[in-house]
Structure 1
């Protein structure tokens, strides 16, 4: 062994594993061999080769070599010598196995960041000495920013990569020196000289090859553009491939904070606010161009661009980033591996698939780096010469070329398979029978009886005329008639697939005709048409849900954003529990800060409500949830949305008016009380929310504190209540979250919108009617200040447990029920009103409420719950009702609600045939007579 090798190993004595690996490492890399010999000859200390660098250490070392350097030539020499030494360090740690892939990529990226920043600073100092500081017309300094793109932006730089940079500056103006330059001239010089300092080939080599072609207008564009010019460019001229490129954009030099502000401004260009499925087609087109280049240049062995290579893993990950990144912050990460891990954790990719793709990425990047470390050359092709192959085998620890080739083939085949699953070929299906049928119907070449016969033959044998009418109606929609030819072709492809797949449904006509109503609603939104054309899972789920329920069909048509939920059956038919609902909504709401983001936050609540309602309904329709759990989840959903809406409304009020204070200095509390179905945990699809608002402020005339302006506390509370209603009920382009009914507040419509908890208690004790105490049996705290919630609970117990005159109570309740039936009962000779009719739902509720009010003073457990079923259980345990009678009422209640629930999904009224439910109706009537004697 050469003496210099022994000398290197001796200097690495603190890391025996690295020292022992030196012979293998230099066998794998001619570059490292030469670099270590040079370092040995220069008697260079190698202590930092034995450990990972701390954050910022690379930057400090680069800055140190330029201290006192005052000429470009000396700066070039210093940076190149440092680069050579640092690359030797990185290569040795990688090839010896001391550094995992992430350390290698981060070290390479940190080195590039530091060199770009040092070069920029060196050139900037020289330019300012000659021309002064660039300033705006207002005298504000204009700062340079350098964006790292591609692998550098992702902190994933490979060993001999060039670095993709975009130079820009914060504003326009001119320098303030004697030899003044416009800002455009100044920053063009800064970009040009910085680039030269890095890439010029000297006796010491180069620092980094620099590519600036990703800047606006490419080679025809300015070397450095102002922020306003960049904003204008991406809004007006930005292309799809530039969105893809900007995913990786990261400020690497200059004013980094300004660079982050720029990327925030450009975010709407990169990430659409809503899910963007058109991005998949754009990426597919870009990949096709790359494949054509690979074929033309014979680059099949290129592990970056070839089939199953690194680029295909990047495309898989970035497709999800472009589609979903506007809605999910974790997908806006510049780095591939954390995003890939997130995709597996969230179920967008199967967890096993995400893990295998990560392993493939690590393997391919290690191969790529090993190829480039051999001679410090920018290549991605597998070596052909024997010496280079032997070096690669040494670097990868492979036994022979056949073994390494086999492993590569296995990895690339898996990557290719997964890529094809995400980017399935964009076939137009024009040769299929269903496409020919749809095209003929669409063009009018197939009409009348011939059209009906063709549809009958295609599987629509019960009502082919309904299918023909549905297609005709869609064809005449204005947005459809105005479609561009390419979009219309894609629509026909989608329709052909729907025709094929609806035949697999139990009722193909209903499935297809209702689905066509959804297609009509989204006709002007190519994004959603693309989603359905691209996703087999989404089409199948849509057909299934539309066939099952006209209510759900209309729900999806009104809120097409929920179509995204159809992509994954694992989540579609498994709605979250309460804690999951809370966590997910809070995660989505965290980045939003009203009042700046009020519109976006309002839409978030509406989209979330629709997405989760769809998931509950889907699970309901496939009988994955019993009725009680459906109501539970719809109620939980309303609770978390009301709570989040209150947080948003409070933040909005606080920003404007500060906060109201009590006399003890504590912040005033505000609470939301649920009544009716919401309070009774019995919400259905489309239910209103019956709400009452309470506060505990004891100085309503005092002013709020801490805001830009003050208002009296009473007004503050009233405005908060009104804003909360607006957050829930205002109609926006995304619809409304819930209708809100405030009729049950003290004094009804004439009462205050929000009451103090003390005045609420006094009203309930002294002025409330019996029917208001009936309503109180189904009331509970759902959001806001928990102290007020506990206070309300105590008031409720005291009111409900008050001893009452049984005869007077019976008279009040019977009289109220008689009036309700006279005004609301729709029963007639042909049908029976399941809600208001005699022996129906309301009778069961009134029986329960009567017993609660009559007997609660004897047993506190009776008022522990607000839902009908558990109240009946408590009454039975207290001896207020026989167990058999309790069971009969609960069974009747369950049967009625299940029937009414099913009718609501079918958009049908609550009128049953006159003879329906004879047994439970008779049972309820008998119990009414027995208990209430009416």
Structure 2
């Protein structure tokens, strides 16, 4: 964000600057000869800055004339040319208030300090030594210091008079909490802001230490009144900050101060939409900081809903309409805050996203507008080009706001109507003339207004269409039961429904169903607005019957949570994507019906169809979990599950639309599992260590963590599908006999066993968002009869001496997914040693063939003898893609046989765990003809692609017997070439 350029002083302002300089020079001379000499010896840069400031700000000149000592001290301290350090402003005020005698003196010292700081801040702003953020932070820090130090001065005086307020429940002394709202809460005050405050106190009770105790609320009401008087009352020294208390519950008619319980009850029962927006920026600016943090935690659920809350758009739209009416009524089109394309519109855009998504995306729970815009860009809610324009437009408008207010320290956002002030504003903003400034201003207001309309505008009014011509209006009579069945079916048939009576019955079933009949009025209104839109878009599809069949269960599922209906009503493109995906895949339709929170993923087309790479995936999950308190396991589990659901939907959508090929689909699903396992293992490790202490290595040092999760099968072979479970094995390298170092010490074997149990619990527990993964641990040493977690040594001994050939086949697809790098390398060495030993090829062929025959007998298609019978290739037969002869498992067994047979000669065959790259290796070393290797790769991909399609259609992995006939014969031929039977 660049500062407006410095413009040369216009000729029209030179006389003004000259008079002001002469006046200040005289004031310094009247102060003392030393001051006059000091003024004359100012460096040329300060004199140039003075000329700019004097030409632009009557306030600075007036303050300098009234109190030349203040300006002299500011210059002598160097504060006009440097940024104040952290805490320096508060320290200065604390010093100024030291030994303050009474409330009148408190008010006097606060006002003089404020005037001094206001001169400094305006000076640095106009002379462009401070950017917008520094100016806003300085002003906010000034308000914080004045509020908090004034409160802490008044509190003991008040206690001496009325007693110390005590909590009835806790028995502890009570302090007031001062919440700063709006721009103060966000650290974004402007040069002449008022401050919006809310007062609260932790709990009821009475004061102690006086003869006539006061109720705590009455005590704090009186204290709050004194604090407001100290800040707000205008005296001969001016004021500190205009203080506005109307944002409190019930506004001006409500009590000045409320207990925490009363505040929570009010917002829960009666809080209005505009109060949610106000509370976004709430910050503790004075009083008891710890209690204030507790209060904000209590109020957070009111502000940020746990679901997608597109009703916020409706409310913002209504608020904007009220503001526009007020602007028109008062002739405030030239108001750069409230007028079209003004400051408020940028704030509304940011708040809309915060209120809609902030309950689930904690990165949006921020106060600073610039920080929120950055998050909207980084998280993909808005394109970078949009957030850049909003940020630059907002900065320009805020600089212009400061220019308007710097002239006379007056709270205004109206453009001036006189030539002198217009010239001043243009000059402060770095323009040579008012027309040049005004042209630039109108450009930014136009861009802000355009972006505002994209976010806030009513979808029915896009393109200027009148509201009565709402999208889907032709379907309103049908949905509202204003047509008989014959007329309704005729309309459905004419619109393209092949089975209009079935469609009609589905709609009637929805309308008369228990879920809809139980809806409250607002929800029913939202449903009535949505269904005609749904029908209007459904008829645009090739098969509207299928669309309706798959989408109506979702609508019924979310009917009671009508915010989801608002989401789809407010985002026609999201509704379009929903219908397209549901028409293409009943699996997707079912997933969204079970977990409506996935509708959020439909909002961003770029994100939906462009899943991130593995490092970005892992980083995104880490970032999300970092925002959750470590002790909140329930929320961590929900974040993990939502993350998995969202990214699984993305990959399915990308596969359906063809933006992600099969191999990338499996890669992505495998990366997703690895990212989740990494975080699950970290959570389980923290929990187990916190409970029992850390385990030890054999050398006595502590494990950190000396544990790995090994993936077998599809996850090991980087071939996960949409519904795949995880075949896992847990291995540790700690001392199984040494005790942990915690208070509840257990031996290492128990520790790692409980760690494994914890991991499985986190993965498999059912929550509102389902479970993460089904987990199969049967491939561990000794299967279900073995220990849940093996030591590295025990794993090696089992694999070398007890494992069956089929377990070595499984080990070929095993790889470390997450965990300790050192233990991972040790596992790889064991795997290479076990698999790379010399084998009796005849015995190996026999064992592999026998195992395959058993699998065909038990799992293959019975009607075709697992694809070996004469009728196996007929259209009426069925081909099991995985288990029948010539299918996926045959290719996998061939690859495994070859790797086990020849890896003692060619250890490079053990480098990879996926079949495609092992086949490449077999071709490279000459063990498989190149044509056969490539045929097997292509066939394997074709089978898996078909299996994926079947899964997305919620169909088993079985196809017609006439499909893949040539491919199956090829696989059987190569099987026999290898000598397998």
Does residue 30 (structure 1) correspond to residue 65 (structure 2)? The answer is no
**Structure 2 CA distance for aligned equivalents of residues 674 and 754 of structure 1:** 14
Corresponding residue SS for 2:770 = coil
Does residue 801 (structure 1) correspond to residue 836 (structure 2)? The answer is yes
Q: Residue 12 of structure 1 contacts residue 46 of structure 1 at CA under 8 Å; is this kept in 2?
A: no
CA 1:83 to 1:432, structure 2 compared with 1: closer, same or farther past 3 Å? closer
- CA deviation string 1:219-263 (max 9, x = no partner): 233322233332333233322221111111111112223322322
CA 1:221 to 1:876, structure 2 compared with 1: closer, same or farther past 3 Å? same
**Structure 2 CA distance for aligned equivalents of residues 227 and 449 of structure 1:** 60
CA 1:607 to 1:56, structure 2 compared with 1: closer, same or farther past 3 Å? same
CA 1:146 to 1:890, structure 2 compared with 1: closer, same or farther past 3 Å? same
**Structure 2 CA distance for aligned equivalents of residues 861 and 845 of structure 1:** 18
Corresponding residue SS for 2:918 = helix
Does residue 928 (structure 1) correspond to residue 978 (structure 2)? The answer is no
CA 1:394 to 1:848, structure 2 compared with 1: closer, same or farther past 3 Å? closer
User: Counterparts in 2 of 1:420-439, with a 5 A limit?
Assistant: 420-425=453-458, 427=460, 431-432=468-469, 435-439=472-476
Match of 2:814 in 1: 779
Corresponding residue SS for 1:280 = helix
Match of 2:90 in 1: 59
Match of 2:535 in 1: 499
**Structure 2 CA distance for aligned equivalents of residues 425 and 915 of structure 1:** 53
CA 1:431 to 1:73, structure 2 compared with 1: closer, same or farther past 3 Å? closer
Corresponding residue SS for 2:198 = strand
**Structure 2 CA distance for aligned equivalents of residues 19 and 494 of structure 1:** 65
**Structure 1 CA distance for aligned equivalents of residues 567 and 309 of structure 2:** 9
Match of 2:783 in 1: 748
**Structure 2 CA distance for aligned equivalents of residues 44 and 593 of structure 1:** 50
Match of 1:690 in 2: 727
Residue 229 (structure 1) aligned to one of 262, 274, 280: 262
Match of 1:556 in 2: 592
User: Counterparts in 2 of 1:63-142, with a 5 A limit?
Assistant: 63-137=94-168, 138-142=170-174
Corresponding residue SS for 1:46 = helix
Residue 643 (structure 1) aligned to one of 657, 675, 678: 678
**Structure 2 CA distance for aligned equivalents of residues 43 and 467 of structure 1:** 80
Paired positions, count: 930
Of 243-252 and 280-289, more deviation after overlay is shown by: 280-289
**Structure 2 CA distance for aligned equivalents of residues 444 and 320 of structure 1:** 36
Q: Residue 147 of structure 1 contacts residue 165 of structure 1 at CA under 8 Å; is this kept in 2?
A: yes
Match of 1:824 in 2: 859
Q: Residue 725 of structure 2 contacts residue 773 of structure 2 at CA under 8 Å; is this kept in 1?
A: yes
TM-score after normalising by structure 2: 0.91
Match of 1:602 in 2: 637
- CA deviation string 1:294-337 (max 9, x = no partner): 23333222221122111111111111111222333432221112
Q: Residue 308 of structure 1 contacts residue 416 of structure 1 at CA under 8 Å; is this kept in 2?
A: yes
Match of 2:275 in 1: 242
Of 146-155 and 648-657, more deviation after overlay is shown by: 648-657
Q: Residue 735 of structure 2 contacts residue 749 of structure 2 at CA under 8 Å; is this kept in 1?
A: no
- CA deviation string 1:129-159 (max 9, x = no partner): 3234333355422122211111111111122
Following superposition, the deviation at residue 920 of structure 1 comes to: 1.2
**Structure 2 CA distance for aligned equivalents of residues 73 and 276 of structure 1:** 49
**Structure 2 CA distance for aligned equivalents of residues 788 and 121 of structure 1:** 58
- CA deviation string 1:86-130 (max 9, x = no partner): 212222222222222222211211111111122112211311332
Corresponding residue SS for 2:904 = helix
Match of 1:326 in 2: 359
Q: Residue 27 of structure 1 contacts residue 33 of structure 1 at CA under 8 Å; is this kept in 2?
A: no
Q: Residue 437 of structure 1 contacts residue 454 of structure 1 at CA under 8 Å; is this kept in 2?
A: no
Residue 533 (structure 1) aligned to one of 563, 569, 573: 569
Q: Residue 76 of structure 1 contacts residue 197 of structure 1 at CA under 8 Å; is this kept in 2?
A: yes
Corresponding residue SS for 1:659 = coil
Of 2-11 and 663-672, more deviation after overlay is shown by: 2-11
Match of 2:514 in 1: 478
CA 1:409 to 1:851, structure 2 compared with 1: closer, same or farther past 3 Å? same
**Structure 1 CA distance for aligned equivalents of residues 588 and 271 of structure 2:** 38
Residue 652 (structure 2) aligned to one of 614, 617, 620: 617
Match of 1:355 in 2: 388
User: Counterparts in 2 of 1:649-668, with a 5 A limit?
Assistant: 649-668=684-703
User: Counterparts in 2 of 1:289-300, with a 5 A limit?
Assistant: 289-300=322-333
Does residue 890 (structure 1) correspond to residue 926 (structure 2)? The answer is no
Does residue 511 (structure 1) correspond to residue 542 (structure 2)? The answer is no
- CA deviation string 1:484-532 (max 9, x = no partner): 3332232232222222223433434333432223222222222211111
- CA deviation string 1:360-384 (max 9, x = no partner): 2122222222222222222222223
Following superposition, the deviation at residue 207 of structure 1 comes to: 1.3
Following superposition, the deviation at residue 433 of structure 1 comes to: 8.4
Match of 2:845 in 1: 810
Following superposition, the deviation at residue 266 of structure 1 comes to: 2.1
Does residue 710 (structure 1) correspond to residue 757 (structure 2)? The answer is no
Does residue 681 (structure 1) correspond to residue 713 (structure 2)? The answer is no
Q: CA RMSD in A?
A: 2.3
CA 1:800 to 1:338, structure 2 compared with 1: closer, same or farther past 3 Å? same
CA 1:42 to 1:891, structure 2 compared with 1: closer, same or farther past 3 Å? closer
User: Counterparts in 2 of 1:251-330, with a 5 A limit?
Assistant: 251-330=284-363
Q: Residue 472 of structure 2 contacts residue 534 of structure 2 at CA under 8 Å; is this kept in 1?
A: no
Match of 1:583 in 2: 619
Corresponding residue SS for 1:692 = strand
Corresponding residue SS for 2:969 = helix
- CA deviation string 1:840-893 (max 9, x = no partner): 111111111111111111121111111111112222223322222212221221
Match of 2:480 in 1: 443
